[in-house]
Every structure is written in C-alpha cells, then in structure tokens.
C-alpha cells in the first residue's frame, strides 16, 4: 500500500476548512478564519466532528486504508463505543465499518471542562472489490467523534481522483439534532438520509451546541453555490441562554439578510425547534442531571425577563418568516419542528433533548416530502 493523502484531500466533500498538525489533517465544518477569531474549544470540537463529511472519489483501488485519530467525548466512567464509517461503491451502500481505537476526551458535566487523553491513531480498512477497475467510491466519516486524518493508502499502482458531485448542493445549518451523534451510521443521520433519497450533495453544518446564529457561519452559507438552504434554529440559543428576545430577533434577521446577499432567489427553509419537554415553557439554560436527562435550570422570575422558551422561539421564528414573505421574499418558508419530532415521539428521546436512531429515521421520512417532494419547500 502507498500513501495518497494529498489527492485524497482533494476528494473531501462536506467540509469548509482544515487544520494541519502533528497528528494529521483535521477537517472542519466551519470556515478557518471565523473559527480562529471565535477561539472557543467547544466550537472547535463540534466543527471537527465530520458529520456528513466524506471522500467522494473515482478509484481503481481494490481496498483503501485510512489512518485516523478519533477523539470521543465521554462522561467519567462511560465506556467508548466504536466509531462507524460507511462505504458506498457505485451507489451501493455496504455494511458499516467499525473502528474501535478511540482517544477519550472526558467531560466534567458540572464545569463543562474537557480532559483529553493522549491521542492514539487507528487504521480503518475498506474492501472495495476483488479486481482493479475504476469505481465511484464514497467513504463517510463518523458522526460523533472528532476525526483527524493521518493518512490514506491504496495498493501499489492504484490511484484516485475526485468524483463528480452527487447532485445539486443542499446546505443545512443546525444544532446537535442535525449533527445526529446517535445515528446508527453516517448515512443514517436524517440530513444524509434525505440527501441520498433526494439526489442532493449534502453540506451538513449541524454543529452540536453551536447553532448560535454566528455571523461568520451566515457568510459561509452566503458564499456557497447552494441550490437549497435549510436552517434548524433556536434550541442551542435556549440551551446556552445565549440571547434574550431583544438580541435574538435582530440576530435572526441579520443571519437571513447575509444569506440573501448571496442567494436572493434560493429556496430557504427555516425549521423551528423539535419538541423538548424540559424547555417548552421554561427558559434555559439547560443542564444535564445525574440521570443523564436534560432539564431547565431554576432561576428567579425577576431574572427571566425576555428569556426564551421553545414556545416563544417558535413564535418569533414564525413571525420573522411571515414578515419577510410580506416584504416580498416568497422563497423563504417555515417548517414547524414538532411535525418532524413532536410530543408523540418522546419514547425516542432518551435524554429529553436528542432523538435516538429510530427518531432520526422518522425525521428523515417526514422531512423528505416537505422539503424535496413535489410540493416541497426546497424544490
């Protein structure tokens, strides 16, 4: 086997930036300049989780090997599960490939601090075919750990080059419920499942905990050649209690204005928060209790003036979209997130905030016709 790391990096789809260090190349789902200016460790981690990031290549290799460092966040005492990769050959989804070599990063739930252990690389091997012939090969990277790519290898004499795009570009921005760390496999996140069914090339900007209407993320979406844009908004603003109503409304309009600067006619779908029992009528911030379930923090009523509940966030998002449509933007639409995951789905909400794999599958089934169906908002 010989290294083809540099040409393989030219086959990366679904990332906006990268950093190179001693361990290898970390692919990021956020622009390098904005991330550097923010200088936030939690954002850096979410950005480096490659949900939706994949290698799309034409290659005559019968096998490929990836050397990766997989950094997974764990609570103290929690064992690490394997990290799942997906292989697609000429459109056929193969059995998932599981890597067990992981580097734990322990999270203190009380303080939010992270303790990283020494990073250890592991090798992941993909069997493509018995004989050498050119095929379209996709390798989808995991959706839960941060991933650093140390090397890519193919058999001696084999090569690879970028494959044509799988379809028009769909850009989706959102939170952890769009990153989908609890999906069974990379192609089973609800955005990935929808994109594969709809024949779209996905750029998933679902960043766990980090959907905060950051202006640099709006500029990134503005500058992409997107044919469709969806925005799953609100839950992280409540989780962090990062904005009150007075700041949220202009931040929302500013985010949409920036996108419209580059995409005046592109269909935009604004998705309101999914159902979250703890925060429907109570403002954030949210905390994780000893039982692993999400709850809203207690605070005096006098400190809650202008604080946002999910019910109020949905009202504000609906009002903003309605106002923009009255102002002449008939290419923006609203989707109530509780139609994707609502009160009747709580059995698939194990921590009270994040759907499980079955919940994400149901979300994909519901989102597909509403977005890319015959009367879908993103057609």
For residues 212 and 123, state if they share a domain.
no
* Mean pLDDT of all residues in 282-305: 89
* Mean pLDDT of all residues in 268-284: 97
Among residues 147, 162, 177, the one where a domain terminates is 162
Convert the pLDDT of each residue in 95-139 to its tens digit: 999 998 777 777 766 666 667 766 678 999 999 998 889 999 999
For residues 191 and 154, state if they share a domain.
no
Q: Is 217 a member of any domain?
A: yes
For residues 139 and 277, state if they share a domain.
no
Q: Is residue 177 very low, low, confident or very high in pLDDT (cuts 50, 70, 90)? A: very high
Residue with tokens 């429907």: 280
| pLDDT score, position 117 | 66
| pLDDT score, position 77 | 64
Strand order across the 228-232 sheet: 201-206, 169-174, 228-232, 268-271, 332-335
170 alpha carbon, distance to own chain's centre: 13
Q: Is 56 a member of any domain?
A: yes
| pLDDT at 353 exceeding the cut of 80 | yes
Q: Would strands 17-21 and 24-28 be described as parallel, antiparallel, or unpaired? A: antiparallel
| pLDDT score, position 9 | 98
Count of structural domains within the chain: 2
Q: Is 6 a member of any domain?
A: yes
| pLDDT score, position 103 | 76
| pLDDT score, position 79 | 65
Provide the domain limits for residue 285.
169-372
| pLDDT score, position 100 | 85
Q: Which residue has the higher pLDDT, 109 or 239?
A: 239
| pLDDT score, position 96 | 96
In Å, what is the CA distance from 354 to each residue of 35, 227, 350?
25, 28, 7
Q: Is 377 a member of any domain?
A: no
Contacts of 200 (CB under 8 A, 6+ apart): 166, 167, 168, 169, 170, 194, 227, 228, 372
Q: Is 282 a member of any domain?
A: yes
CA distance 306 to 129: 59
For residues 75 and 185, state if they share a domain.
no
Q: Which residue has the higher pLDDT, 56 or 290?
A: 56
| pLDDT at 250 exceeding the cut of 80 | yes
| pLDDT score, position 292 | 85
Among residues 162, 189, 204, the one where a domain terminates is 162
For residues 140 and 176, state if they share a domain.
no
333 alpha carbon, distance to own chain's centre: 21
Q: Is 378 a member of any domain?
A: no
Q: Is 329 a member of any domain?
A: yes
Q: Is the preceding peptide bond at 285 cis, omega within 30 degrees of 0?
A: yes
Among 188, 175, 172, which residue's Cα sits nearest to residue 227? 172
For residues 101 and 249, state if they share a domain.
no
* Mean pLDDT of all residues in 250-268: 98
For residues 158 and 270, state if they share a domain.
no
- Record the tokens describing residue 52, joined without a space: 């939706």
For residues 272 and 362, state if they share a domain.
yes
For residues 137 and 268, state if they share a domain.
no
| pLDDT at 199 exceeding the cut of 80 | yes
In Å, what is the CA distance from 351 to each residue of 74, 91, 207, 242, 294?
15, 35, 18, 22, 6
| pLDDT score, position 289 | 87
Among residues 162, 182, 202, the one where a domain terminates is 162
Residues β-bridged to residue 140: 54, 86
For residues 49 and 188, state if they share a domain.
no
| pLDDT at 378 exceeding the cut of 70 | yes
* Mean pLDDT of all residues in 275-280: 97
Q: Is residue 198 very low, low, confident or very high in pLDDT (cuts 50, 70, 90)? A: very high
| pLDDT at 206 exceeding the cut of 70 | yes
CA distance 34 to 215: 9
Convert the pLDDT of each residue in 140-158 to its tens digit: 999 999 999 999 999 999 9
For residues 251 and 296, state if they share a domain.
yes
CATH of the domain at 29: 2.60.120.260
What is the average pLDDT score of the chain?
94
For residues 72 and 133, state if they share a domain.
yes
| pLDDT score, position 109 | 63
């Amino acid at each position: 086997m010989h290294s083809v790391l540099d040409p393989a990096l030219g086959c990366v789809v679904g990332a906006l930036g990268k950093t190179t260090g001693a361990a290898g190349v970390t692919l990021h789902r956020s622009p390098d300049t904005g991330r550097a200016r923010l200088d936030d460790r939690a954002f850096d981690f979410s950005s480096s989780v490659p949900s939706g990031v994949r290698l799309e290549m034409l290659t005559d290799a019968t096998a490929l090997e990836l050397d990766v460092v997989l950094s997974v966040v764990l609570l103290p005492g929690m064992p690490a599960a394997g990290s799942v990769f997906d292989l697609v050959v000429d459109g056929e989804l193969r059995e998932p490939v599981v890597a067990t070599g992981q580097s734990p990063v322990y999270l203190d739930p009380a303080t939010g601090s992270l303790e990283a252990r020494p990073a250890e690389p592991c090798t992941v091997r993909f069997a493509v075919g018995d004989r050498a012939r050119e095929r379209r090969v996709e390798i989808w990277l995991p959706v839960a750990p941060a991933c650093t790519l140390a090397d890519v290898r193919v058999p001696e004499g084999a090569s690879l080059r970028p494959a044509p795009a799988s379809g028009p570009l769909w850009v989706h921005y959102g939170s952890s419920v769009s990153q989908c760390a609890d999906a069974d496999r990379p192609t089973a996140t609800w955005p990935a499942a929808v994109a594969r069914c709809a024949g779209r090339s996905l750029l998933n900007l679902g960043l766990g905990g980090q959907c905060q209407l950051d202006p640099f993320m709006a500029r990134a979406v503005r500058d992409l050649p997107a044919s469709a844009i969806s925005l799953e908004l609100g839950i992280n603003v409540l989780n962090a209690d990062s904005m009150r109503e007075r700041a949220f409304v202009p931040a929302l309009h500013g985010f949409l204005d920036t996108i419209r600067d580059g995409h005046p006619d592109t269909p935009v779908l604004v998705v309101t928060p999914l159902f979250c029992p703890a925060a429907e009528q109570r403002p954030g911030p949210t905390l994780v209790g000893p039982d692993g379930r999400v709850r809203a923090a207690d605070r005096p009523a006098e400190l809650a003036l202008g604080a946002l509940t999910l019910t109020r966030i949905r009202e504000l998002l609906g009002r903003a979209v309605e106002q923009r449509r009255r102002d002449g933007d008939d290419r923006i639409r609203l989707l109530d997130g509780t139609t994707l995951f609502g009160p009747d789905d709580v059995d698939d909400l194990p921590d009270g905030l994040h759907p499980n794999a079955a919940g994400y599958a149901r979300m994909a089934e519901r989102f597909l016709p509403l977005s890319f169906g015959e009367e879908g908002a993103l057609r």
